[in-house]
Amino acid sequence: MEPYGREHQGHPPAGHPRSHPAGVPGNAVQQDCAQLQEARTARPQRQVAAPPLRGDERHPVRGLGEHRRRVPQVRDRLGHAVARTGRVSDWSPAQYRKFAEERAQPIHDLLALIEPGRIGRAVDLGCGPGELTVLVADRTGAADIVGVDNSPAMLTSAAEHSRAGVSFASGDLGEWTSNRDHDLVFANASLHWTPKHREVLTRWTAALAPGGQLAVQVPANAYMPAHLLADEVARREPYCSAMGGDPPPDPVATNVLAPEEYAQLLYDLGFERQHVRLQVYPHVLPSTRHVVEWLRGTALTRFEKLLDPSLYARFLVDFEDALLQRVGDHTPYFFPFRRVLIWGSLPS
């Protein structure tokens, strides 16, 4: 799913003992955060009371008593960012690639679980922009691997990585299966977008030949303040009504199982050996505000697809406000990220 660089995690800004984040072309993350800050300082001063955020009362949002209207200013200040995306119905490979290095370590950890040996046919489900599919091919020696995704934009980007033994196809990873003819089914940070994991993993297992391997990684961070706040802000007006009165829930919260449930499922599906673990990846972002940019590439896309561009720009500013109120404006900001790594091997 992500491009790769050094395998360690966390790259804070200059001046900190560790270097600023790599893998962010043209300081794109800093530029977008600067746009949000500029929009914030340019907002008119007329203030109205804000409705309280709803959510987990164990983490109250403090200091949101004053809410400044900012629609024209946000649209003007963020105009070029809005024009770049429009109302989206697809993923943005460029936005997704931001923080690529920070996302890379789970990929390498998942690849390390795959046992060496002859892997003739493999599939990368939810291949994204294609770099990972190539890496899987190189690291496993797969003779033939197909990257599958349902995003036209991602597949267009992935096509640049096509070569002998590496190809890409459109498909729904939730419905994908085959007839016991794959040596490896690989899915990094994609399974959580589809529901009913027991049924999905049953179909994926049906695609594996005897001795075949399954390697999957899913995020497990729905409890984090930023993710909870995204849902809370989405339930505020005018966003809730703009999304039909029912904003889409966090797929991690609704779809991802507990690690022990995945372990039980692999056993039930007949895997002879397995490795399932919950791991926390430590990321050090330049500031709290950069969490917004991180989530724009993944978790917030479900709102971007439903909101008018100017309203989505306003949503981003409101979300950042709420996040700063809840966790504080820290430079740098420690951003722990939980993930579940799943590997299993069928009997030969």
Structural domain 115-221+265-281+338-345, CATH architecture: 3-Layer(aba) Sandwich (3.40)
**What is the C-alpha to C-alpha distance for residues 300 and 290, in angstroms, rounded to an integer?**
13
**What is the C-alpha to C-alpha distance for residues 82 and 120, in angstroms, rounded to an integer?**
44
pLDDT for the residue numbered 297: 85
Q: How many CB atoms lie within 10 A of CB 28?
A: 14
Whole-prediction pTM:
0.72
Residues 6+ apart with CB under 8 A from 219: 189, 192, 252, 256, 337, 338, 339, 340
Q: Which two tokens stand for residue 164?
A: 């002998």
pLDDT for the residue numbered 166: 98
Domain ranges of the chain: 25-98+222-250+285-335, 115-221+265-281+338-345
pLDDT for the residue numbered 104: 83
Residues 6+ apart with CB under 8 A from 101: 4, 5, 6, 11, 21, 22, 23
**What is the C-alpha to C-alpha distance for residues 299 and 306, in angstroms, rounded to an integer?**
13
Q: What's the burial of 16, exposed, middle or buried (CB within 10 Å: 0-12/13-18/19+)? A: middle
Q: How many CA atoms lie within 13 A of 81 on its CB side?
A: 25
Angle at 259 between CA 151 and CA 122, to 5 degrees: 45
Q: Which portions of the chain are predicted below pLDDT 50? A: 1-89, 91, 95-96
**What is the C-alpha to C-alpha distance for residues 336 and 138, in angstroms, rounded to an integer?**
29
Sheet order of strands, 182-188 included: 166-170, 144-149, 121-125, 182-188, 208-219, 333-345, 273-285
